[in-house]
Amino acid sequence: MELEQAKITIQELRDKINEANNHYYVENAPLISDYDYDMLMNELIALEKEFPELVTEDSPTRKVGSDISDKPVQQRGSAKFAQYYHRYPMLSLGNTYNIQEIEEFAERASKSIGGVFTYSCELKFDGVAICLTYRDGVLYRALTRGDGTIGDDVTENVKHISNIPQKLSGIGWPQEFEIRGEIYMPYKAFDRLNQEREREEEQPFANPRNAASGSLKLIDPKEVGKRGLECTLYHVLGENLPFPTHDAALKSAMKWGLPVSDKRRICRNIVDIEEYIRYWDTERKLLPFATDGIVIKINELGHQRELGYTAKAPRWAVAYKFKAEQALSKVLSIDYQVGRTGAITPVANLEPAPLSGTIVKRASLHNADQMELLDIRVGDYAYVEKGGEIIPKITGIEESKRQPGTQKPVFPTVCPDCGATLVRNEDEAKWFCPNTDGCPTQIKGTLVHFLGRKAMNVIAGDATIEQFYNLGYVRNVADFYDLNAYQLLQLEGWKERSAQRFLTSLQESKETPFEHVLFALGIRYVGESTAKSIAKHFGDIDSIMKASREDLLKAPDVGEIIADSVVSWFADPKHIEIVDRLRKAGLKMKVGVADEMVSSVLADKTIVISGNFSVSRDEMKHLIEVNGGKNSGSVSSKTAFLLAGEKAGPEKLKKAADLGVQVISEEEFRAMLPSQDVKAEEAATTPAASNISIQLTLF
């Protein structure tokens, strides 16, 4: 793959993963299965390894998914929680579906440790991570994982979970310590909750994990207590703890009355580990709660410290994820659906079949190539899986049950929605409808994108867009700003309060920064970061509209594919009309004063930052940008200098030394900037990560 295509692919993967993270951790409504998510992540890891110059600090490969929401309280349907720094960052786990990779993990551990050691094997509970702090034997604080560094304070809600003690029993507990684990919802409570939601005509939760996450952040703690949540804890940490092993720590926690799983086992070798995995791959189906794998940890705490951590995961632990369950079901028919980007996806309609606690009736076939590979036909019996127990997919056909005379399905040549002739790019597997501005499904997809959280951030969902479109209220994004209260009150289910809330949100969107407006337009290949680069480079919409292909190629991070897409979009008179209407509606069409260049002292300099500073890392990156510099996530020969805060990454420091790249401190960096950029007052009021005792550990 060429560098230009790699840039686009990496950004697309990051956008997909970030969107999936938001839906999983914040919205509690997963878009894709765990398996498909892991495959996206593995593809991104492989590409970043091949093109290290494209690695950035904000890549999802280098940080954990965050459950912190920036939506207004009324939009989230949950409380606005106070937030606190984790004393020890909460990291994620490396995982695999391949037993061979577990064997490789064990082999690496054996070589690194050299002596005798053991493994602690535990069930991987499918819930939401929690961190409990006890002081003098009393529950002091409960934090969600958040972004791994900062979490939401859900202490009052956690106090209403029946098996979490507010006061410890027994003796010998430290004056202060943390213990981490999972809050989950047993199947009985999950079924009861979804039955209640269906009676109230509310959207049921996709699975117990999402139900647990949504329940933990309810506004009323008493309501949390009614949801039937439970907790299991699996990791004790603190200063100078007396335990030699992970297992000894958990045994002590059990004596103090804390809920620790009794399903764990100490294993001495890979044979024991594989036996444990095989046992629970079957027996887990009899458990009253959801599990999705096995966690294998080095048991001795001294060896854990020796092995250390990567950027986002410990080297002394790994998760083995169970393969999805299968069902065999008859294919009744095949539909062809149009996605919001115009991609045509075949979907098989199936004879209802029980699978992972639900009845499956439909499953994606992905694309024409996959259909050909499966050799699927109407009337066949297909093997169906629910990867991550969310989205069904067909993985194979039982040819012995195929009846004579079945015919191969013919993939459509025209769009099933608008009738346009389908097209397919050489390097893509999917067929697309090219009628971007005339295909109803694509129009609605553009409308949804425009109002999205990372775009204009207007309170509206898919159902609202469907109502607007079906009644002819909205046909393009500019139409939103012509809506009035009278129109909204004609919609089924809309009252004065909901109408006013939508119009207020729409009015507030006019303050959205220009780079978000540019992203909201939905120009193909122009993702969130690319829109920001283009906006900063050109300054306003008029300059972008006039820009030639060659002009666009001069903008940071813009290659030929993106440049061609931008030129093509603005060449359409309909799009120019939409931009003019949005301008008249009051949307920002130029970079704001706060985002304009302050100086050019860092012009033509590529800078890498690492460690903790007196202000947030985002603020440091902003200072670099407004003074003409460019941020990068990895040190290379093109790096002007490495800006190192406290606890800067040792790998970055080593690479800088190897390449002869200058390393400067925050004080030296600020001395390079105009005096008005020195934010001493911010340093005094911003919680500084450097003032926190950091010890990386597994959540």
Catalytic center residues: 124
Residues 6+ apart with CB under 8 A from 323: 97, 385
Read off the tokens for 463: 């159902």
Q: Rounded to whole angstroms, what are the CA distances from 110 to 19, 90, 103, 117, 307?
A: 38, 26, 11, 8, 11
Element at 609 (helix H, strand E): strand 606-610
SS3 68: coil
Question: Which residue matches tokens 């769009």?
Answer: 415
Q: How buried is 28 (Cβ within 10 angstroms: 0-12 exposed, 13-18 middle, 19+ buried)?
A: buried
CA distance 106 to 87: 30
The answer to whether residues 622 and 593 touch, using CB atoms and an 8 Å cutoff, is no
Place of tokens 């892991």: 38
* Cα 408 from Cα 372, distance rounded (Å): 9
- The position carrying tokens 């947030």 is 616
Token match 């009252």: residue? Answer: 495
Q: Which residue has the tokens 């998914």?
A: 65
Report the alpha-carbon angle 109-110-116, nearest 5. 120
- Which residues, other chains included, contact 318 with Cβ-Cβ below 8 Å and sequence gap of 6+? 93, 94, 95, 96, 101, 102, 105, 295, 296
CB 397 within 8 A of CB 371: no
- CA–CA dist 446, 523 (Å, integer): 10
Cα→Cα distances 223→165, 232, 537, Å: 18, 20, 50
CA–CA gap between residue 393 and residue 383 (Å, rounded): 8
The CA-based diameter of the chain, rounded to the nearest angstrom, is: 82
- Residue 266 falls in which region: left (phi positive, over 0), alpha (psi -120 to 50) or beta: beta
- The CB-side HSE value for 270 (13 A sphere, CA atoms) comes to 12
Neighbours of 426 (CB within 10 A): 4
Count CB-CB contacts under 10 A for residue 584: 10
- Euclidean distance between CA atoms 271 and 279, whole angstroms: 12
Q: Which of 228, 385, 249, 373 is nearest to 322 (CA)?
A: 385
d(CA 363, CA 350): 8
| Amino acid in the structure at residue 120 | S
